Structure 1
Amino acid sequence: MKVKISRISYHLPDRVEGEEELKSDNPDWDMPKIIAKTGIHKRRIASEGETAVDLAYEAANKLFSTNPQREEIDLLILVTQSPDYVLPPSACILQNRLGLSQNCMAFDVNLGCSGFVYALSIAGGLIESGAAHKSLILCADTYSKYIAKTDRTCRPLFSDGAAAVLVEAAAADCVGPFDFGTDGAGYDRLIVKNSGARDVGLARGALEMRGSEVFLFTMRVVPPCINKLLDRAGLTFEDIDLFVFHQASRLVIENLVRTMSLDESKVYTNLESIGNTVSASIPIALKDAEMQKRLKEGDTVMLVGFGVGLSWGATLIKWCAA
């Protein structure tokens, strides 16, 4: 696609939750063992009255502070599974709060860990078709609001946060190809029950994750996805300058590196002090990699998202963000 990622910003809640809080609430937890698997020492937790929409608003405003052409945005995609309401779409709320033009498409994408790759494909397609010219992708979630304090599977992993990504037309192909997939038979491996139109009237459930099954799913689908993407692009592993996986956990990423014999120096992680921010994890990692000088103009970067759905998606980008 002749589109590019031209700018990224992100925003994290002020509250930092470390292992001390987890141990205080759950004295029986073996924190060294948990951290050895997750690789996560700290998470960001939204305050009681703070929503994913609020986090997305702050991330977008940071982006506009360095590129104030908000009136040119004619496509707004919000990737979230923590909307303010079942309806209307939270993207419509953000269009108004951000002061974007009324000549702007705005819609939600209800996806989790693979959501950024999907949104990038949608934005690129709409721009290439001429239906849009400059897109703002917002990825935001507050999974912490769905997680029980005693949930040893989910609480040590998930973090709240938001990313804002500006996508616009480019002179050369800078995004793609893509590879996507879905295994809806595993929909209940990551689920918040009683949270929609089914079983209305029951108290909303907490987030449930069958961690071992999600891990096996990841190891089953991600390596073939990466190989298909490389074949489609006519590239090899050696042609990739940086791999940015969804920041699921240390266990997941280390096993992907081992299974595919990847060069560890080419695999970027930042989950240690941020945690798993769901759809925002890939753009947040890209921004951190840029700030740490891990990316340079023209680098070929592979982005791979996988998780809730169960779904997955991968793409290649040429790095040119300002």
Structure 2
Amino acid sequence: MNVSYIKAIEYYLPEIIVSNDERTMKKIGISERRIAEVDEFASDLAVMAAKKLFDSGVVERQEIDFLIYCTQSPDYILPSTSCIIQARLGLPISCGAFDFNLGCSGYVYGLSIAKGLIESGSARNVLLLTSDTYSKHVNPKDRSVEVLFGDAATATLISHHEEDEIRLGPFVFGTDGKGAENLIIPAGGLKEPISNLNKEETEDTFGNIRSRCDLYMNGPEIFNFTLKEIPEAIQRLHAKSDTSMEDYDYFVFHQANQFMLEHLRKKLHINNEKFSIQLKDIGNTVSSSIPIALKRDSHKLQQNDLIMLVGFGVGYSWAACSFKWSIIK
């Protein structure tokens, strides 16, 4: 049987470190974040993560059949940034490539796309890149988001293998666009082009300052959405995979902030030892948070451990999947 599996993960962090104060750290579990340079963009971070993967020797560039790039910080409206990355990495011109615009659920969505490409016979080696530079979307005077988000990129190799056991999947998904206004950059697209008017800054009742060109997040609404939808999504995953919480060896959720993660962990009755929290020194890295946590926690995992991944956030969009761990060099 033609199956897909996660063969390797690498990540890259920019060099600038920004620290949070002690009071903020205790509340959200983030002491510092990595921030891209003014002239350093999400595509640059993604290229660096991919180069780390190729330098590891796990795959040759000419063996990549498909490049998938998840970002909400593209270089241009067009062309697709994935096409630019393909050329920068020297991948073969026979390689397919496209971008997709998702945030914190994007990694799980990307895995499902890679699985479809491989198990349909369309590709043998898929390079899934995630990269965001939310620091460029955030007003530094808006403390509701400035203390949360860090910049990062990851590269994941999903490969083909001949065996009888499914290693990646099943997947469940969710979308509720009625929550779009709760995590949004209102201006800058075709619907509301940037102008002097929407670049004007205003101050909210909590003292946070932003313009309509900056990232806005309604934290309480995002929290309520997460606590409602994620347990239901996990129940759907159990039904689809014929599993229970006790069957899983490890859980990696989107690393939003420690306050939210602890609420989810307790609500789902997950032991501390089985639950990943990897954001203290990097913050919320959006689409890169799950693969970074997986890579950092790889020393805790054994061959064939059953892992649950759960992504959730902007959109609203969410996704969950099961997969069996393969040893990553």
Short-chain TM bin: over 0.9
- Give CA deviations for 1:46-81 in whole Å, capped at 9, x if unaligned: 000000000000000000001241101011000000
Aligned residue for 1:25? none
Question: What does 1:66-77 align with in structure 2 at a 5 Å threshold?
Answer: 66-67=56-57, 68-77=59-68
Tell me how far 1:128 sits from its aligned partner: 0.8
| Counterpart code for 2:158 | V
Instruction: Note if contact 1:76-1:135 (Cα within 8 Å) is conserved in structure 2.
Output: yes
Structure 1 gap ranges (5+): 20-30
Taking the aligned partners of 1:163 and 1:321, their CA distance within structure 2 comes to: 18
Instruction: Note if contact 2:194-2:213 (Cα within 8 Å) is conserved in structure 1.
Output: no
User: 1:216 aligned to 2:224?
Assistant: yes
Q: Percent identity?
A: 47
| Counterpart code for 1:275 | G
Taking the aligned partners of 1:306 and 1:37, their CA distance within structure 2 comes to: 20
**TM-score, normalised by the number of residues in structure 1:** 0.94
Tell me how far 1:201 sits from its aligned partner: 4.1
- Give CA deviations for 1:249-301 in whole Å, capped at 9, x if unaligned: 011100001111111211011111111100000001000001xx211111100
Aligned residue for 1:296? 302
User: 1:58 aligned to 2:48?
Assistant: yes
Aligned residue for 2:171? 178
User: 1:227 aligned to 2:235?
Assistant: yes
Q: The residue matched to 1:138 in structure 2 has which SS?
A: strand
Taking the aligned partners of 2:267 and 2:150, their CA distance within structure 1 comes to: 27
Taking the aligned partners of 2:117 and 2:327, their CA distance within structure 1 comes to: 20
Aligned residue for 1:187? 180
User: 1:273 aligned to 2:281?
Assistant: yes
Tell me how far 1:113 sits from its aligned partner: 0.1
Instruction: Note if contact 1:179-1:229 (Cα within 8 Å) is conserved in structure 2.
Output: yes
Instruction: Note if contact 1:5-1:321 (Cα within 8 Å) is conserved in structure 2.
Output: no
How many residues get paired? Answer: 309
| Counterpart code for 1:133 | R
User: 1:255 aligned to 2:245?
Assistant: no
Taking the aligned partners of 1:77 and 1:317, their CA distance within structure 2 comes to: 19
Taking the aligned partners of 1:73 and 1:195, their CA distance within structure 2 comes to: 34
Question: What does 1:32-181 align with in structure 2 at a 5 Å threshold?
Answer: 32-67=22-57, 68-170=59-161, 171=163, 172-181=165-174
Q: CA RMSD in A?
A: 1.2
Taking the aligned partners of 1:75 and 1:195, their CA distance within structure 2 comes to: 30
Aligned residue for 1:3? 4
Structure 2 gap ranges (5+): 200-211
Tell me how far 1:302 sits from its aligned partner: 0.3
Aligned residue for 2:193? 200
Taking the aligned partners of 1:138 and 1:201, their CA distance within structure 2 comes to: 29
Aligned residue for 1:315? 321
Instruction: Note if contact 2:252-2:309 (Cα within 8 Å) is conserved in structure 1.
Output: yes
Q: The residue matched to 2:149 in structure 1 has which SS?
A: coil
| Counterpart code for 1:294 | K
Instruction: Note if contact 1:9-1:164 (Cα within 8 Å) is conserved in structure 2.
Output: yes
- Give CA deviations for 1:181-210 in whole Å, capped at 9, x if unaligned: 001001111111212111224246100000
Moved more, 32-41 or 86-95: 32-41
Aligned residue for 1:14? 15
Aligned residue for 2:203? none
Instruction: Note if contact 2:302-2:327 (Cα within 8 Å) is conserved in structure 1.
Output: no
Instruction: Note if contact 1:8-1:321 (Cα within 8 Å) is conserved in structure 2.
Output: no
Taking the aligned partners of 1:163 and 1:76, their CA distance within structure 2 comes to: 13
Q: The residue matched to 2:135 in structure 1 has which SS?
A: helix
Q: The residue matched to 2:14 in structure 1 has which SS?
A: coil
Instruction: Note if contact 1:133-1:169 (Cα within 8 Å) is conserved in structure 2.
Output: yes
Taking the aligned partners of 1:65 and 1:33, their CA distance within structure 2 comes to: 40
